[in-house]
């Protein structure tokens, strides 16, 4: 029963990630509609549409640090509940858009709300979980994001942008209705010296018959130690152990984004449209969404068995192979279009393998790792810095990719992503510590050497 409660709370918290995923998946299916004649009466050029994709990531980047402050003040639960408001305002602007600026504002606001969940949900999921299942529950965030992307690709393939936006607007409301019944993090209550609330939260999550005194005492001991030697945020961020943790977390965020994932997801329809495949781009995109979800489900069952580092290495190797094949396809196409006449299947296969292996390792692990390695007094702010880095890189990739694709070609773009993935694999092998099965105290002790 205790694990079922934890799974339920983790899945409910990740419901915001479902709304975020549908926001990410929204831009690809509607690209052809919004760059041509449409019911909104608003037509975007290719460069203008790049902002439709990238403003979502820019909104996510700007909100992460303020969200870190809110987590410290309100706790992860009510910070996430608060994010339903900008989500709904953003979708309302999109549904009733009268001009391009309303659509730009809509993407920015929904990006802000989605980015907030990327910081809050992994922290909440890891803080409510027993160490034996922390990786699984921490990965619920990535599972629901990929499910949201699949929802976006599937619904967007068969509906117009107006109805598509209405459907997306219902997801944050459903999240709020379900998640309101879950408790806040016991870690948060202990930090605020609300020990009775922490006890009730643990009883809800573990069950009254489960002996959680050891876990609760460890939280109290961590809190007491931090209070014995209080420091301000600036001093805490400058501690050697915090800087080391930040370096590790930020490096994984950089590798995750510059391996090209958001370029593939945001512009998958246009990528497939430029290939020699006979399959309609919208159906190819749906297949990519299915691959995302299937691979993330696989990662749930192996992340606490194989560990974080082996999954990252496995992911890196197959990303290099698949993206290199995609790069080769576009180089051949750019040189002689007839040479790829019988290779229309290669881009879809390459992207499916890339998505599968990304979702097993590079998708969930950086977020789980981020939620595990920071000390309790600085977790909200430090996690927000990592989240800001992630979404800032996503903004750069989504904004620059269509421009680079037009100027240097798809072959060169995907070659860059393959090289970064290869370098990332070497870095992970030598530098990233394993956190599987370790308590928060043990992880901090390892970082301190």
Q: Tell me, what's the pLDDT at 267?
A: 59
Instruction: Quickly count: other Cβ atoms within 10 Å of residue 406's Cβ.
Output: 12
Q: Tell me, what's the pLDDT at 12?
A: 94
Q: What angle do CA 53, 57, 60 make, to 5 degrees?
A: 145
CA dihedral 66, 69, 75, 77 (to 10 degrees): 10
Are 388 and 139 spatial neighbours (Cβ–Cβ below 8 Å)? no
Are 425 and 320 spatial neighbours (Cβ–Cβ below 8 Å)? yes
Q: Name the pLDDT band for 126 (thresholds 50, 70, 90).
A: confident
The mean per-residue pLDDT over the stretch 130-137 comes to: 83
User: Under CATH, which number does the domain 2-448 receive?
Assistant: 1.20.1250.20
Confidence check: pLDDT of 156 > 80: yes
In tens, the pLDDT along 365-418 reads: 898 898 888 887 788 788 889 988 988 998 888 778 877 877 888 888 889 999
Q: Tell me, what's the pLDDT at 224?
A: 82
One-character DSSP codes across 378-417: THHHHHHHHHHHHHHHHHHHHHHHHHHHHHT-HHHHHHHH
Going by C-alpha positions, the residue among 283, 432, 268 that lies closest to residue 351 is 268
Q: Which two tokens stand for residue 270?
A: 């246009």
Most confident option among 161-170, 223-232, 375-384: 161-170
Q: Tell me, what's the pLDDT at 174?
A: 95
In tens, the pLDDT along 38-77 reads: 778 888 887 788 788 788 888 988 988 888 888 888 999 9
Q: Tell me, what's the pLDDT at 274?
A: 58
Would you give the DSSP letter of residue 40?
A: T
Q: Tell me, what's the pLDDT at 379?
A: 80
The mean per-residue pLDDT over the stretch 197-202 comes to: 92
Q: Tell me, what's the pLDDT at 163?
A: 92
Burial class (CB in 10 A: 0-12, 13-18, 19+), 209: exposed
Q: Which two tokens stand for residue 39?
A: 């019911």
Q: Tell me, what's the pLDDT at 353?
A: 86
Q: How much is the mean pLDDT over the chain?
A: 85
Q: Tell me, what's the pLDDT at 4?
A: 86
Confidence check: pLDDT of 282 > 80: no
The alpha-helical segments, DSSP class H, found in 75-99 are: 76-82, 84-95
In tens, the pLDDT along 243-252 reads: 999 999 999 9
Confidence check: pLDDT of 307 > 60: yes
Q: What angle do CA 167, 173, 179 make, to 5 degrees?
A: 135
Q: Tell me, what's the pLDDT at 110?
A: 95
Q: Which two tokens stand for residue 305?
A: 């068995």
Q: Name the pLDDT band for 423 (thresholds 50, 70, 90).
A: very high
Q: Tell me, what's the pLDDT at 278?
A: 60
Confidence check: pLDDT of 90 > 90: yes
Q: Tell me, what's the pLDDT at 428?
A: 95
Domain edges within the chain: 2-448
Burial class (CB in 10 A: 0-12, 13-18, 19+), 201: buried
């Amino acid at each position: 029963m205790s694990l079922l409660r934890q799974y339920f709370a983790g899945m409910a918290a990740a419901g915001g990630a479902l709304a975020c995923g549908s926001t990410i998946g929204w831009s690809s299916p509607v690209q052809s509609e919004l760059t041509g004649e449409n019911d909104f009466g608003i037509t975007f050029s290719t460069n203008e549409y790049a902002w439709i994709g990238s403003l979502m990531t820019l909104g996510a980047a700007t909100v992460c640090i303020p969200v870190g402050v809110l987590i410290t003040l309100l706790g992860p639960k009510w910070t996430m509940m608060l994010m339903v408001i900008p989500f709904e305002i953003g979708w309302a602007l999109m549904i009733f858009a009268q001009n391009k600026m309303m659509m730009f504002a809509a993407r920015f606001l929904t990006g802000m709300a989605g980015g907030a969940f990327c910081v809050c949900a992994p922290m909440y999921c890891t803080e409510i979980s027993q160490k034996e299942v922390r990786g699984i529950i921490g990965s619920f965030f990535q599972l629901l994001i990929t499910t949201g992307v699949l929802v976006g690709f599937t619904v967007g393939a068969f509906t117009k942008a107006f109805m598509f936006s209405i459907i997306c607007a219902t997801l944050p409301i459903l999240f709020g209705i379900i998640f309101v019944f879950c408790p806040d993090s016991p870690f948060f209550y202990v930090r605020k010296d609300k020990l009775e609330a922490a006890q009730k939260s643990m009883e809800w999550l573990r069950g009254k018959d489960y002996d959680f005194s050891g876990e609760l005492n460890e939280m109290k001991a961590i809190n007491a130690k931090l209070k014995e030697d209080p420091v301000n945020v600036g001093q805490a961020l400058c501690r050697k152990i915090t800087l080391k943790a930040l370096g590790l977390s930020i490096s994984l965020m950089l590798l995750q984004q510059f391996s090209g994932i958001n370029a593939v997801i945001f512009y998958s329809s246009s990528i497939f449209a430029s290939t020699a495949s006979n399959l309609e781009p919208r159906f190819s995109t749906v297949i990519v969404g299915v691959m995302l979800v299937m691979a993330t489900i696989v990662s749930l069952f192996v992340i606490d068995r194989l560990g974080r580092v082996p999954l990252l290495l496995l992911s890196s190797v197959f990303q290099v192979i698949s993206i290199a094949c995609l790069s080769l396809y576009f180089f051949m196409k750019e040189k002689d279009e007839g040479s790829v006449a019988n290779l229309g299947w290669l881009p879809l296969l390459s992207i499916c393998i890339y998505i599968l292996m990304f979702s097993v390792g590079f998708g969930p692990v950086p977020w789980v790792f981020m939620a595990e390695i920071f000390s309790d007094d600085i977790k909200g702010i430090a996690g927000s810095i990592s989240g800001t880095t992630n979404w800032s890189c996503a903004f750069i990739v989504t904004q620059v990719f269509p421009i680079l694709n037009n100027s240097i070609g798809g072959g060169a773009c995907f070659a860059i992503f393959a090289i970064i993935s290869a370098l990332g694999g070497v870095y992970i092998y030598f530098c990233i510590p394993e956190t599987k099965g370790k308590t928060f105290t043990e992880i901090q002790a390892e970082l301190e050497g």
